[in-house]
Structure 1
Amino acid sequence: MSTATSPLDVPEGGKPRARGRLQLLLILLVAVGPMILATSMYKFKFWVPEGRSYHGAMIGNGQTRADIGIDAQGERWQLLVSAPAACAEDCQQLVYLARQIQVGLGRDASRASHALASAQPLAADYQALLGREYPQLQRYPLDLQRYGHKVSEPGPQLWIVDPHGNLVLRYDAKVKGKHVLDDLRHLLKLSNIG
């Protein structure tokens, strides 16, 4: 009795089976190779581009507003000014800049808000000015103890915060408004949230 043989069975010399294994290996290499390369690049920091497209200091460790002492909720992107000391001239300039950047977003202005978190009470004249000139400015208390543990830079800071409350970028008081506006526009373009 003779048995029928399939062309996939091992015929003479085992060449189809070897070719099939080679094809399987190539498919796996094409599918898994880029993941292995990307992981290696991240772990061992090779072939990482030196240039960057943002101007502030990136906060990539998952910190939120609550981590730096600001207990607040939001549903939009936020330009947040933090003032660990009295809100003096440089802090007031950042508050003004935050509002101007929001207005500068044009049709995307409704996707962002501006806020001030201060550790000390504001001067009465500045508080009155904020009530008149900045009616949409959100104000929060700043827990100086939590803030001091997470932020080592002195003076007021401007933060871009995503709608989930995650800190994305941080700028010092010397920042140029155009740089922040460019960064925020880029984030809004890439984001479907907020």
Structure 2
Amino acid sequence: MHSLPDPQATAQQRVGRWKMLLVMAMCAAPVVGSYFTFYVLKPRGSANYELLAPVVEMPADLPLTDLQGATVAPKSLHGQWLLVVAQPAACPEACERQLYVQRQLREMLGKERGRVDKVWLVPGDAVPNAKLLAALSQKGAEVTVLRVPQDRLEAWLKPAAGKTLADHFFLVDPMGNWMERAPADPEPKKLKADLDKVLRASASWDTAGR
């Protein structure tokens, strides 16, 4: 004879399964939100600039260093939307103009600006001049400046045909996925509209700060 199952034990197992499913759903929520942002917001005509499909994940082993030569883990950049520029350390006039536009775009977001970080990726191991760095460290103008080998940067971010990395803004989501490419001299209102759209779509699962 086989003993009958214990109703109480069966009920406990059922509750346990539901708890496990709830935990899994909570863990998956950011991913679901991200895919909603990228794919439900489409067709492409709903964005002013180029959305990527599929998105391109930031390499977990991307060799980032700060200006003092200390290693920076790519994962440390997760948790915020990133408005990225990729300009050489020499930073000619077009570079300075792009950094200015980067700052203005973030300020235009108003109360949502705390969800967006400004990042300048410098190809190679050179260091920008001290005067420019001093300007970028002022309150409200802060930019995260990181160096990365040119070939590794180009293996992740791609320019449009006939362009270079310096010709673009790159938008990266809080999970480290590159998901939009815009010109370095965009129409600010159009790029802001795209930023507003992804910030609204991710409002339920993304908050300011890492």
1:124 partnered with 2:134: no
Instruction: Identify the range of structure 1 (142-151 vs 88-97) with the bigger mean alpha-carbon deviation.
Output: 142-151
8 A contact 1:74–1:164 mirrored in 2:
yes
Q: Return closer, same or farther for 1:51/1:129 CA change in 2, 3 Å cut-off.
A: closer
**Equivalent residues in 2 for 1:57-136, closer than 5 Å:** 57-66=50-59, 71=64, 72=74, 73-84=77-88, 86-119=90-123, 120-132=126-138, 135-136=141-142
Question: Using the alignment, how far apart are the partners of 1:170 and 1:82 within structure 2?
Answer: 12
RMSD, aligned CA: 2.6
State the partner residue of 2:205. Answer: 193
Q: CA deviation at 1:183?
A: 0.2
Aligned length: 146
Contact 2:82 2:172 in 1 (8 A): yes
Taking structure 1 as reference, are residues 102 and 145 closer, same or farther at Cα in structure 2, changes over 3 Å only? same
Q: How does 1:122-161 map to 2 (within 5 A)?
A: 122-132=128-138, 135-150=141-156, 151-152=158-159, 153-156=163-166, 157-161=168-172
Q: Is the 8 A contact 2:57 2:178 kept in 1?
A: yes
| Unaligned 5+ runs, structure 2 | 1-41, 65-73
Q: 2:194 aligns with which of 165, 175, 183?
A: 183
Q: Which residue of structure 1 aligns with residue 17 of structure 2?
A: none
The CA deviation string for residues 161-190 of structure 1, in whole angstroms up to 9 with x for no partner, is 110010111112221211111000011111
- In terms of mean alpha carbon deviation, does 129-138 or 119-128 score higher? 129-138
Work out the CA distance in 1 between the residues paired with 2:128 and 2:56.
26
Q: Deviations over 1:45-91 (max 9, x none)?
A: xxxx9860212222223313338x57432211111111256322222
Task: Give the TM-score of the pair, scaled to structure 1.
Answer: 0.64
Question: Equivalents in 2 of 1:126, 1:145: separation in Å?
Answer: 25
Partners of 1:187 and 1:134 in 2: how far apart?
23
SS in 2 for 1:114: strand
Structure 1 unaligned spans of 5+: 1-48
**Which AA in structure 2 matches 1:62?**
V
**Cα gap change, 1:90/1:70 in structure 2, threshold over 3 Å: closer, same or farther?**
farther
Q: Which of 1 and 2 has greater Rg? A: 1
CA displacement, residues 74-110 of structure 1 (integer Å, 9 cap, x when unaligned): 2111111112563222222222112211111112111
Tell me the TM-score normalised to structure 2 length: 0.60
Q: Does 2:173 match 1:167?
A: no
Greater fraction strand? 2
Counterpart-to-counterpart distance in 2, 1:81 and 1:66: 17
The CA deviation at 1:148 is 3.0
Identical-residue share of aligned pairs (%): 22
Does the 8 Å CA contact 2:122/2:147 hold for their aligned counterparts?
yes
